[in-house]
Amino acid sequence: MLIPRLDEVRRALTAFHIFNSILALAFPVIRSSFLCDYVFASDANQQCEIDSREREILMFLLIILAWKGRKATNWMHYVNNIFLFSKIAGIFLFLRADILAGILYILACLIVTVLFPEPAYTGPERVTYFQGEQLFEELTRNRNTVWVIQFFTTWSQECRHTTPVFAELSQKYTLPNMKFGKLDIGRWSKEGERFRVNAHAMSRQLPTICVFKDAKEISRRPLVNESRRAVPFVFSEENCVLAFDLVNLFNEQKQKKEAKTKKND
């Protein structure tokens, strides 16, 4: 179950979330209130309320949102899914009820998208950002460090939604010999080929998180099957901890560090 943390609630108090909330709720609120007669053109004998077809569409929207909730990486990701699919349904509903109202709603969506883009994550993290061949050189040079690497692109929405999850993991599991890093394969495409990560939008391999130990990859998500298709993976914090065995890796590297410290003393 997706339960918002206090810091996530605070991050939701932005113009992006406020205006998108208004757009998401616009149709059912207007259609079922006194505003209906002012927004939609209707006959004098026609009662202005949500009709059976509109109710069916709204119910279908709720089903989609419930299904998307199971695939959301975190609460903020789920909220963004609500905004997206509610606005798509809103466009169809407004156009169906009144062409002029539909056009105005589309313009409102465009204006909000341009003026109030989704804010980037700015919370704490312990992540090293690599450029070009730096990651390959670091893995080759320092084989005693376990690296958890996220391969991403700046245009990928999925990568953006995974950012706070990866930041949280880096805060919890970073050690001197276990570190977290990122590499933009949209900018450094040759490095994407080196690490076998396809940056194409249709590949569904974005983001890809890999764990390297002794300069060798020991795990990655999403996995790629024999047909070269990515197996869907939800990058929630819980799923990442289990899939990459982070607790055991952390304890193992911590023991190695303590043993090395005692030996040097």
Residues 12, 76: contact at Cβ < 8 Å?
Answer: yes
Burial class (CB in 10 A: 0-12, 13-18, 19+), 182: buried
Give the position of tokens 């509903």. 93
Cα distance between residue 224 and residue 12, in whole Å: 34
> What pTM does this model have?
0.80
Q: Read off the CATH number of the domain in which 203 is found.
A: 3.40.30.10
Q: Is residue 59 assigned to a domain? A: yes
Residue 258 shares a structural domain with residue 144: yes
Q: Is residue 230 assigned to a domain? A: yes
Residue 105 shares a structural domain with residue 194: no
Task: Identify the domain boundary among 82, 115, 148.
Answer: 115
Task: Identify the domain boundary among 88, 115, 142.
Answer: 115
Residue 227 shares a structural domain with residue 138: yes
Write the pLDDT tens digit of every residue in 122-155. Answer: 888 999 999 999 999 999 998 889 999 999 999 9
Write the pLDDT tens digit of every residue in 27-85. Answer: 999 988 888 888 886 655 456 778 889 899 999 999 999 888 877 888 888 888 999 99
Residue 103 shares a structural domain with residue 137: no
The count of structural domains within the chain is 2
Supply the DSSP symbol for 212. Answer: E
What range does the domain containing 141 cover? 127-264
Supply the DSSP symbol for 265. Answer: -
Q: Is residue 171 assigned to a domain? A: yes
Cα distance between residue 148 and residue 32, in whole Å: 51
Torsion 238-239-243-244 (CA) sign: negative
List, in sequence order, the alpha helices (H) in the chain: 6-11, 15-31, 36-39, 52-69, 75-97, 99-115, 134-141, 157-173, 189-194, 237-243, 246-264
Residue 102 shares a structural domain with residue 150: no
Residue 152 shares a structural domain with residue 211: yes
* Residue 216: strand, helix, or coil: strand
